[in-house]
Chains A and B, each alone.
Chain A
């Protein structure tokens, strides 16, 4: 029995649902069949554009966008995806132009303000990013995109308490969203709670196993929370300030009169040797452990 041929509209709806459920291969097969009958259907082209974008085939997506904009120069979806692709390709100036053009046509769209705020954060325009995030929240206070970008802006600009409030608001409203969880991981890392960050990252990987960024983050956290890395805690917690503080303590001990005044001058050489071993260990062990744990 042959399948009843679908209309363009039905095919577009089915393809869209398949894409929403991440069934990209099925969506691609359906679109391939449908394009033989309806090569210039706008809704089908929009589905194909979105599929290519989600699969990181940016050049293919841009080609379809070109075709879409020829058929409908004001197509919101095509312009929206184009702005995002420019951002992913780090062509921030082009992304900004596209977003401004969209915002002039859709001035109440909170999502567009949120994306524009991201572009501003990526290009270090912090004040403008904060204002755009505020505009996004003003238009849609419950919007996940607006809350996320406001939280990201807080990470850059504000003290930790304010950031924690925004992360808390995201967790309350969108507890199951990937973006919320990633921001929570960032907050935990910021506060030196790396074990919890590692556990949360492992949970995220279970639902997003192909996310390379998450896998890299999990590997880095697994490394930093390993028991053999405990002696490096000052550097892990305080970064370079911790390293410099240790160096300062050693210099004072070895060059100052501290040991002499405590009648412990005989400890100078052992302390120097321990410090050299510690430095070598801090340089050599983490890369070795990283290879072992991978």
Chain B
């Protein structure tokens, strides 16, 4: 007789899938900054069937990215400085996202499971992230900042 509940099925619903690699996170961070990283985080979260749990911090992160981009637009001397700052923010967020998904990356590594092919999703994340960045800067310009 199972008193511990361990013999109740855990895999009846949609099954969790492997997530996109750390390399994919870094690539999006390098080319499009924090917003692209958060798009990859959302994609990973969806593959793990935990998007409803993670959506709050992902949206919070996007707001933060937007606010920092706005402030950066106001204060940066030139576009190059803004790009470097956006990249640095992207790397920081990639590190944070890695820490959130670390047990899954560890499990994939020790159990020999490969991440899915990232190319199409990285391109989508870059497009979405760039569109977000451009939208924020356009708003800053339009607001007369």
Contacts and interface: CB of A to CB of B under 8 A. Distances in A.
A240 B26 contact: yes
A104 B1 CA distance: 8
Interface stretch (B11-19, B118-126, B130-138): B11-19
A65 interface: no
B4 A135 contact: yes
A107 B6 CA distance: 11
A92 B107 CA distance: 15
A131 B91 contact: no
Given A122-B111, A124-B16, A156-B107, A96 B26 contact: no
Nearest to A239: B22
A248 B85 CA distance: 11
Interface size class of B (residues with CB under 8 A): 20 to 34
Contacts of A118: 111
A165 to B, nearest CB: 16
Nearest to B30: A247
A136 to B, nearest CB: 11
Contacts of A26: none
Contacts of B9: 93, 96-97, 100
A202 to B, nearest CB: 19
17 contacts: A93-B9, A93-B11, A104-B2, A104-B7, A107-B1, A121-B107, A121-B111, A125-B11, A156-B107, A156-B110, A157-B103, A213-B112, A240-B26, A240-B94, A244-B95, A247-B91, A255-B84
A156 B22 contact: no
Interface residues of A, number: 36
Given A135-B6, A155-B106, A123 B16 contact: yes
A10 B9 CA distance: 40
A224 to B, nearest CB: 15
Contact of A123 (B11, B103, B112): B11
A126 B11 contact: no
A241 interface: yes
B68 interface: no
A33 to B, nearest CB: 38
Interface of B: 1-2, 4, 6-7, 9-12, 15-16, 22-23, 26, 48, 81, 84, 88, 91, 94-95, 98, 103-104, 106-107, 110-113
A117 B2 CA distance: 16
Contact of A156 (B1, B84, B106): B106
A126 B10 contact: no
A103 B7 contact: yes
Contacts of A157: 103
A103 B5 CA distance: 12
Interface core residue of A97, A240, A248 (most chain B CB under 10 Å): A240
B2 A107 contact: yes
Contacts of A156: 103, 106-107, 110
